[in-house]
Amino acid sequence: MTRVMLLAACLVACGTAHVPEGDAGHDAAIDAGLDARVVDLGEDASVDAGVDAGPTAVRCGATDCAVGEACCFDTGACFDPIADPTACPVPPDGECRANEHCAEGQVCIALDGTCLGEGRCIDPGGCGGDSEPVCGCDGETYPSRCAAHRAGVRVGEVGSGGACGQPQLAAGGRRRCDDDGDCPADGRCDMDEGFCVWGPPRVACGHDGQCPEGSDCCPYTGACFDASCDDCCRQPPPGTYFPCRQDSECHQFDIFHFCQSVGCGGALGGCRGMPSSCGGELSPVCGCDGSEYTNECWAWMEGVDVDPDGLSCL
């Protein structure tokens, strides 16, 4: 039975419910100076499996949906899964575009770390003990990624690094350092933390109010971006999680990530991790570095894009 059918029955019998906001979690958020409250899922969240039940008012991008409405992750718009399910149709490939496309106890999560786009139904299960706070794509700070998923909320790649509205220096690959000389050319050493970091701090967000002046919140990535940058807020290609044109933009997340794009001309691509292993299928490709590789995977393992025309290897 799908969530849509269960929701129809519950709207008649259950009334309105909401995720409780715990005093301890709320006070901790204030003490830390966070720009969003920490959502406390209650004491039972650590032991109960599945998604917290009951129809709730959800946020879809920067929009607060009405109670009974759901978020369509494909469009970033609210829709009524009972009155107008065609507004967010179930994909034919077995994936999902809304939590209501999943079975009871499951949520629709984008495995590539984006806030919008198709995803897969997963069972978030029960949440364990201590964990780092994350910024949900709804602009709420949750005690953990698991807690956000239990609330039916996605977490972007930037949001996984800390609270909403707070600058986050990415310790890419957690490479330790004593000075800048221990880091790659596009990184520097954060002497206080003892790790290499890349680029300016990124800020996770769910709406524009959580971003610095001159920045807007990107609904695709859940990250603040320079409002004057045309490339900085676009849906990244499938299998990637953040728009980019060069590898250094991805090193802000992890030194073992690279900017994957089509061809070698610096086209807009997306950040992704380098594969940790590859098969031996013989399907030679030409890398944009001028080297030949056994197959695409072996090129990506080296953080190299594939030249579809093979001109780089002539």
Q: Give Cα separations from 252 to 106, 110, 136, 166, 295 (angstroms).
A: 31, 21, 19, 16, 27
Q: Count of alpha carbons within 13 Å of 176, Cβ hemisphere only?
A: 0
pLDDT of 130 reads: 63
Least confident of 52-61, 82-91, 218-227, 304-313: 52-61
Residue 41 neighbours by CB under 8 Å, 6+ apart = 19, 20, 52, 127, 142, 143, 147, 150, 151
pLDDT of 34 reads: 31
Helices (H) and strands (E) in the chain, counts: 5, 20
Q: Taking 60 as the threshold, does the pLDDT of residue 208 lie above it?
A: yes
Q: Residues 223, 271: contact at Cβ < 8 Å?
A: no
DSSP annotation of 9 reads H
**pTM of the full predicted structure?**
0.70
pLDDT digits (tens, 9 = 90+) for 145-164: 999 999 999 999 888 888 99
Task: Tell me the sheet residues that pair with 215.
Answer: 226
d(CA 42, CA 204): 24
Per-residue pLDDT band at 98 (split at 50, 70, 90) = very high
Nearest to 219 by CA among 41, 49, 59, 19: 59
Higher pLDDT residue, 175 or 16? 175
- Percent with pLDDT over 90 in the chain: 38
Least confident of 38-52, 96-110, 273-287: 38-52
Higher pLDDT residue, 62 or 49? 62
pLDDT of 312 reads: 79
Helices (H), the chain: 3-13, 23-31, 145-150, 248-251, 296-301
d(CA 90, CA 111): 17
The first and second tokens of residue 149, run together, are: 């998923």
pLDDT digits (tens, 9 = 90+) for 17-59: 333 333 333 233 323 333 333 444 443 333 344 455 455 678 8
Residues of the chain with CATH 3.30.60.30: 274-314
CATH topology (fold) of 274-314: Wheat Germ Agglutinin (Isolectin 2); domain 1 (3.30.60)
What's the rounded mean pLDDT across residues 111-140?
A: 86
The first and second tokens of residue 113, run together, are: 């770390």
Q: Taking 60 as the threshold, does the pLDDT of residue 72 lie above it?
A: yes
Q: Residues 270, 241: contact at Cβ < 8 Å?
A: yes
Please provide the average confidence, as pLDDT, over all residues in the chain: 78
What's the rounded mean pLDDT across residues 114-139?
A: 87
What sign for the dihedral angle of Cα 12, 86, 66, 155?
A: positive
Per-residue pLDDT band at 185 (split at 50, 70, 90) = confident
What's the rounded mean pLDDT across residues 245-249?
A: 83
Q: Give Cα separations from 139 to 19, 50, 144, 221, 280 (angstroms).
A: 15, 22, 14, 12, 44
Q: Taking 70 as the threshold, does the pLDDT of residue 138 lie above it?
A: yes
Per-residue pLDDT band at 216 (split at 50, 70, 90) = very high
d(CA 269, CA 249): 11
pLDDT of 170 reads: 57
